[in-house]
């Protein structure tokens, strides 16, 4: 009988500890949820600017981060952009039509 009561007490104690732990865990989640909409919004915005492609997810850097890109890297991006624009314009001149004139490129400057 004593053993049974001891078992019941320990079970109740264990249950209480589990309830407290559960409460604490869900409270943290709720706190984190408060910042989630802003994060989701930012992710959605980034996805809209740089949509995912097969095998490649182009990282869309925030404007603040773009300012930290070394100038040499920026100039290389610019040079690559000019080459792509040049190639796109050449394609248009070979077969002039509106869709080729406004064809998209993979330039990191625009994506």
Partner 1 sequence: MNADLLQGLDRSEAESVLALGKRVVLTSGAELFHLGDVAESIYLVARGRLRLTLPMQVRSREEDVMVEERSSGQTVGWSALIPPYRFTLTATAPLETEVIALPREALHGYFAAHPATGYAVSVNLASIIGNRLQLFQAMWLREIQRMVELRCA
Interface with partner 1 (CB under 8 A): 71, 74-75, 78-79, 82-83, 85-86, 88-90, 92-93, 101-102, 110
Return the SS3 of 56. strand
**Beta-carbon neighbour count of residue 89 at 10 Å?**
13
Whole-number Å distance between alpha carbons of 32 and 38:
11
1 vs 63, beta carbon nearer partner 1? 63
20 vs 101, beta carbon nearer partner 1? 101
**Beta-carbon neighbour count of residue 108 at 10 Å?**
19
43 vs 82, beta carbon nearer partner 1? 82
Supply the minimum distance, in Å, between the C-beta of residue 17 and partner 1. 55
Q: Per-residue b/e over 48-63, b at no fewer than 16 CB within 10 Å?
A: eebeeeeeeeeebeee
3 vs 71, beta carbon nearer partner 1? 71
Supply the minimum distance, in Å, between the C-beta of residue 30 and partner 1. 36
């Amino acid at each position: 009988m004593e053993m049974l009561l001891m078992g019941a007490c320990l079970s109740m104690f264990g249950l209480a500890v589990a309830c407290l732990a559960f409460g604490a865990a869900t409270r943290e989640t709720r706190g984190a949820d408060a910042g989630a909409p802003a994060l989701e919004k930012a992710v959605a915005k980034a996805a809209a600017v740089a949509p995912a492609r097969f095998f490649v997810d182009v990282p869309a850097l925030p404007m603040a981060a773009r300012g930290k890109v070394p100038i040499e890297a920026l100039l290389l991006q610019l040079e690559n952009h000019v080459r792509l624009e040049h190639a796109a314009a050449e394609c248009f001149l070979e077969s002039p039509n509106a869709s080729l004139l406004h064809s998209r490129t993979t330039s990191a400057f625009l994506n």
